[in-house]
Structure 1
Amino acid sequence: MVSADVVEYRPAFGRVLAVVVAVLGVAGIISGLVADAGATWPYVAPVALGVTLVWAAYWRPAVVISPAGVELRNVTRTIELPWPTIERVDTKYALTLHTAYGDYAAWAAPAPSRSRVQASGRDDVAHLPSSTYGPGGSVRPGDLASSGSGQAAMLVRARWEELRDAGVLDDPRVERATPRVRWHVGTLTATVVLVAASVLTVAL
């Protein structure tokens, strides 16, 4: 359960896509096994691999903002970035946090496509956190409120500005030489096993 102090950003499109792929994959395998189990069995592992990859790429990734910092949950690993280490927020290609540890991008918050930028309106550049705006009140395409990178950046910047204004970041201290990283061992292991199983079953 996520507390009120923790905000999690995950794009709705990615979750819908993951559900659709999973439903189609499971339905296809079940119907195939019922109709002709022998002919369908070799394709169980490849379909499971596809569903797993889509889940890892589109369902699981997120940007989690908490009192401790920002957690970037990407495809193969999760990176924890405490607030004192965050120096700047960028959205050129995706939400990217420039920190004392280096630069880290969020898979869950890509910058908008050209068509999305062209379809944007005034609401996309209004009432954004003050640190969003550049010279003359300019806003980069990746900061548009309707984009994935823009939505995630708004959440990060709003919390960062609160801490800055409260003086919490006046004397930033980095406790670790590198960020805490958690590799998604289960996902990586499942992928390797399913790849091997797919090669064996299809080859045979």
Structure 2
Amino acid sequence: MGPMAASSAGVQQFRPLFGRILSVGVWAVSAVVLVVVIVGSGWPAAVGALPWLLLLSGAVWASFWNPRVAVDVGGVHLVNVTRTIDVPWPALQAVDTKWALTLQTAYGTYTAWAAPAPGGVATARMTMREAKALPAASVDLARGIRPGDHPDSPSGAAALAVRRQWAELREAGHLDAPQLEHTRVPVRWHVLSLSIGGVLIALCVLTLLV
């Protein structure tokens, strides 16, 4: 299923629609299970089941709902499961989509959890007119459009936005003499969600011991 793209205040965000649907489905099932446990076994059983249901719901949120790729004038931001990687434009060296959106930078190589590449079927259905609308960087001269660069795929949609913004900055001369402001890529760990996850795991273990 195709990607979801949203933009606000100059920021373009991409995340797979499938992940959002899966998350809502899991949360709905978890709510139904909790109600069934309360009705069938009472509140004590529900209290024991609650940490497990919350852990499952939280894992789905962290893995499928929250991850995204954001593109703005400051750089590319990969919001993955446990951390957010902020890649400034001067550090970007190449964009690849073989398995997922992958940024090759002066700091190393980083992959977007929220932008996996599709299979080759969708790419085979792309028309020549659609292919010509893509930037040259998305086309392999020997084999045509790479599956990961298909604009209707999570990796392709995000890569297209990255390449267009990158090209605009280069054409405007903003990257003529790129300078790195950091000694390593800026990374923000998701401390709050990781901490909550740790607490829920501890509660689940406690329910097994009680």
TM-score by length of 2: 0.89
Which of 10, 35, 38 does residue 40 from structure 2 map onto?
Answer: 35
Counterpart in 1 of 2:63? Answer: 57
Deviations 1:24-43 (A, max 9, x none): 11222133213322333322
User: Which deviates further from its counterpart, 193-202 or 31-40?
Assistant: 31-40
1:3 and 2:8 aligned:
yes
1:148 and 2:154 aligned:
yes
Name the aligned partner's letter for residue 97 of structure 2.
T
Closer/same/farther in 2, CA of residues 200 and 124 from structure 1, 3 Å limit = farther
Q: Secondary structure at the match of 2:76?
A: strand
Question: Contact 1:124/1:144 (CA < 8 Å) preserved in 2?
Answer: no
Counterpart CA distance in 2 for 1:187 and 1:102 is 26
Shift of 1:116: 4.5
Q: Secondary structure at the match of 2:31?
A: helix
TM-score by length of 1: 0.91
Shift of 1:137: 7.3
Question: Contact 2:122/2:147 (CA < 8 Å) preserved in 1?
Answer: no
Deviations 1:87-111 (A, max 9, x none): 1000011100001111000000001
Deviations 1:82-141 (A, max 9, x none): 1111110000111000011110000000011355455x3226634112221232572211
Question: Contact 1:125/1:145 (CA < 8 Å) preserved in 2?
Answer: no
1:95 and 2:76 aligned:
no
Counterpart CA distance in 2 for 1:185 and 1:15 is 22
Aligned length in residues:
203
1:107 and 2:113 aligned:
yes
Closer/same/farther in 2, CA of residues 74 and 141 from structure 1, 3 Å limit = same
Counterpart CA distance in 2 for 1:126 and 1:12 is 26
Q: Give the fraction of aligned pairs with identical amino acids, expressed as a percent.
A: 43
Which of 111, 135, 138 does residue 141 from structure 2 map onto?
Answer: 135
Closer/same/farther in 2, CA of residues 46 and 117 from structure 1, 3 Å limit = farther
Counterpart CA distance in 1 for 2:37 and 2:122 is 39
1:13 and 2:2 aligned:
no
User: Which deviates further from its counterpart, 107-116 or 149-158?
Assistant: 107-116
Higher strand share: 2
Counterpart CA distance in 1 for 2:130 and 2:194 is 37
- List gaps (5 residues or longer) in structure 2: 1-5
Shift of 1:144: 1.2
1:159 and 2:132 aligned:
no
Name the aligned partner's letter for residue 98 of structure 1.
Q
- List gaps (5 residues or longer) in structure 1: none
Q: Secondary structure at the match of 1:30?
A: helix
Supply the RMSD in Å over aligned alpha carbons: 2.0
